Amino acid sequence: MVIKPSVFDFLVELEENNSREWFHQNKKRYDAALKNVQEFVTQMIAGISVFDSSVSSQTAKDCIFRIYRDIRFSQDKTPYKTHFGAYIAPGGRKGGNAGYYIHIQNNKSFLVGGLWVIDPAILKKVRDEIYYAPEELVDILENKTFKSTFGALADEDNFKKAPKNYSVDFEYIHLLKYRHYCAEKAVTNAEVTAENFLEKCLQILEISVPLVKYMNKVIHYE
């Protein structure tokens, strides 16, 4: 199962012609690209289920995000996203759990394992767990294979200051400045369309399993 180059061809042209008229004229191309991505994500779910059975009941439909943008509160009024994205996790893309994400975009594709935090209450649970028992997460992040693959946690949207109510002398205070707890690996267009991308994708995401399972354990602590 491969991602066809025509998926990138469509996304590149969509980026250049992001309008409802152009999209309507090219709807068949979108449908073909979406079908290809759906088939790939179906295979991803099956592959991930081998090392994380918590996602085994999910379908591609549960995991793939809509290409239509919500422009109600955005200054950017372009109607369509210029990427395909799928979040494979217990409960699918809306479940609120840690999981595995694939982002397919021209020259900006990447893979992610971890937790994208939306709920402030969840963020507090994660911070408290790190603050009072940091060893498990530190061990995950310091693992040689993890570090050689991802480097460190992705620092997108990090807070500039440590949160209140935690000692500034805490040894791992920097870990409390994260807004999200994800490991990210960029992949090129050539890698995405290669014959072995599914295998490579699964190999990368499997390395993030300890982080994903740690975050889901913290989320579901009573």
User: Higher-confidence residue: 51 or 160?
Assistant: 51
Task: Label residue 49 by pLDDT band (50, 70, 90).
Answer: very high
Q: For residue range 60-75, list pLDDT tens digits in order.
A: 999 999 999 988 878 8
How much is the pLDDT for 221? 80
Task: Label residue 152 by pLDDT band (50, 70, 90).
Answer: very high
218 is written with which tokens?
Answer: 């913290």
**In angstroms, rounded to a whole number, what is the distance separating the alpha carbons of residues 110 and 100?**
11
**In angstroms, rounded to a whole number, what is the distance separating the alpha carbons of residues 57 and 41?**
13
Q: For residue range 65-109, list pLDDT tens digits in order.
A: 999 998 887 888 899 999 999 999 999 999 999 999 999 999 999
How much is the pLDDT for 56? 96
How much is the pLDDT for 222? 57
How much is the pLDDT for 51? 98
Mean pLDDT of 13-42: 98
**92, 101 in Cβ contact below 8 A?**
no
DSSP assigned state of 54 = G
Q: Is the pLDDT of residue 216 over 70?
A: yes
Task: Label residue 10 by pLDDT band (50, 70, 90).
Answer: very high
First to last CA, the chain: 41
Q: Is the pLDDT of residue 176 over 80?
A: yes
How many alpha carbons fall within 13 Å on the CB side of residue 32? 12
Number of domains in the chain: 1
Mean pLDDT of 141-150: 98
Other beta carbons less than 10 A from residue 209's beta carbon: 15
Range of the domain at 121: 5-219
User: Higher-confidence residue: 165 or 38?
Assistant: 38
